């Protein structure tokens, strides 16, 4: 009897695995893999195990700089690998990459892959903490580049060029795979909603790094000039993240008549089908799922011209792009699209084309399957 291959994912928390990787796990199961995930249990393990994926708890803390905390995570993950005996370990994002690197030195016969979903706040900010972490992370990247059993996956061209030009990665050790893919049968193209109001939609965590504060300020300016605007916000506060929006801003959002905060919603199609425009004003991304979803249902986009976002939002083709932090441009972009249905329809048509070209779920999953088996 041929032994089935097994793969072990390491991510920070169960909800992230569900939103970004569980469909890949289901695909791999159909291909004959035994799939495990090691992550923090925030109460969503049953959703994962119901899909036939085996869960292993790790008390991970995404933003902790404690050496003891890191050591405990490494020990727990070592025990998990010894128990599972995987053929492949796939680390998703920065914290698991650090834990996985330290763990990998004891398991050199296992294939290790790490996906950097974006280089994050440490490559955006210039405070002492960010500069220190940036130095340490670059050192981590250099170590990974020397380990032949480690391969890196990034989600956009900017990050790929960073690894090639700054870390001197060999091209056969790094691949671009565009996120988790998008299910185009699930996210069907729809016509924009009818009605008097023009609705701007945002789906994502309530973070300053995702430009929520800029969106609110720009929208407040726009609604002064066009009264039939409505802003829908969906996503969690993510209180562990250092860039979560302030309590003052959150309270203001909940008192604004032209803004509706929906909290976490299970089916984000609800927000895109109700919206005329999709928006994301991040400082930096890997490959933003929210823009992919909005583009898939056929919505024109407003987005910052930054790594990750510029892979999906192309100025004058399917989007209006702008400089991060330019609140006046946010206002002008909202007003321009809200006032011109013909422009919205033109950009919307091209949005769907972008995700159809190389972001479709099955194409992405096949790329992962190929890279695992090379």
Mean pLDDT score of the chain, rounded to an integer?
90
CATH (residue range 6-181+360-373): 3.40.50.2000
pLDDT at 48 over 60: yes
Handedness of CA 335, 341, 346, 348 (dihedral sign): positive
Identify which of 133, 128, 89, 132 has the alpha carbon closest to the alpha carbon of residue 112: 89
pTM of the full predicted structure? Answer: 0.84
The pLDDT tens digits of the residues spanning 274-308 come to 999 999 999 989 899 999 999 999 999 999 999 99
Specify the residue for token string 């769907």: 352
The pLDDT tens digits of the residues spanning 78-93 come to 999 999 999 999 999 8
pLDDT at 262 over 90: yes
Q: What is the pLDDT of residue 336?
A: 98
Q: Which residue has the higher pLDDT, 65 or 169?
A: 169
Residues above pLDDT 90, as percent of the chain: 68
Binned at pLDDT 50, 70 and 90, residue 67 comes out as confident
Ranked by mean pLDDT, the top range of 62-66, 112-116, 237-241 is 112-116
Helix (H), strand (E) at residue 7? strand 6-13
Start-end ranges of CATH 3.40.50.2000 in the chain? 6-181+360-373, 198-358
Q: What is the pLDDT of residue 130?
A: 62
The CATH number of 198-358, from 3.30.1360.170, 1.25.50.20, 3.40.50.2000, 3.40.50.1980, is: 3.40.50.2000
Residues above pLDDT 70, as percent of the chain: 94
* Residue 229 CA: distances (Å) to CA of 267, 277, 313, 351, 374: 23, 11, 22, 22, 51
């Amino acid at each position: 009897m041929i032994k089935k291959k097994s793969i072990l994912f390491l991510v920070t928390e169960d909800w992230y695995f569900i939103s970004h990787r569980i469909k890949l796990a289901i695909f791999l199961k159909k291909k004959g893999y035994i799939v495990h995930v090691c992550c923090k249990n925030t109460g969503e393990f049953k959703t994962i195990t119901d899909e036939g994926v085996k869960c292993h708890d790790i008390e991970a803390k995404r933003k902790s700089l404690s050496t003891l905390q890191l050591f405990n995570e490494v020990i727990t993950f070592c025990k998990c690998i010894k128990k599972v005996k995987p053929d492949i370990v796939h680390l998703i994002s920065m914290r698991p990459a650090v834990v996985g690197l330290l763990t990998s030195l004891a398991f050199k016969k296992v294939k290790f892959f790490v996906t950097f979903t974006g280089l994050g706040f440490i490559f955006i900010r210039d405070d002492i903490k960010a500069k220190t972490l940036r130095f340490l992370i670059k050192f981590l990247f250099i170590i990974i580049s020397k380990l032949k059993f480690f391969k890196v996956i990034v989600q956009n061209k900017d990050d790929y060029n960073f690894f090639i030009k700054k870390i001197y990665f060999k091209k056969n050790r790094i691949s671009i795979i565009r996120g988790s893919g998008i299910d185009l049968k699930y996210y069907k193209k729809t016509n924009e909603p009818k009605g008097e109001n023009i609705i701007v939609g945002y789906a994502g965590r309530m973070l300053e790094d995702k430009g929520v504060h800029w969106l609110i300020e720009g929208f407040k300016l726009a609604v002064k000039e066009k009264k039939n605007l409505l802003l829908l916000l969906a996503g969690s506060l993510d209180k562990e993240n250092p860039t979560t929006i302030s309590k003052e801003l959150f309270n203001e959002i909940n008192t604004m008549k032209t803004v509706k905060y929906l909290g976490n919603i299970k089916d984000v199609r609800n927000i895109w089908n109700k919206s005329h425009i999709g928006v994301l004003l991040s400082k930096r991304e890997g490959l933003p799922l929210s823009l992919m979803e909005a583009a898939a249902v056929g919505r024109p986009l407003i987005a910052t011209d930054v790594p990750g976002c510029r892979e999906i939002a192309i100025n004058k083709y399917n989007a209006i792009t702008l400089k991060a932090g330019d609140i006046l441009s946010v206002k002008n972009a909202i007003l321009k699209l809200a006032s011109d249905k013909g422009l919205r329809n033109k950009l919307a048509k091209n949005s769907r084309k972008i995700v159809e070209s190389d972001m479709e779920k099955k194409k992405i999953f096949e790329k992962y399957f190929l890279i695992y088996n090379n």
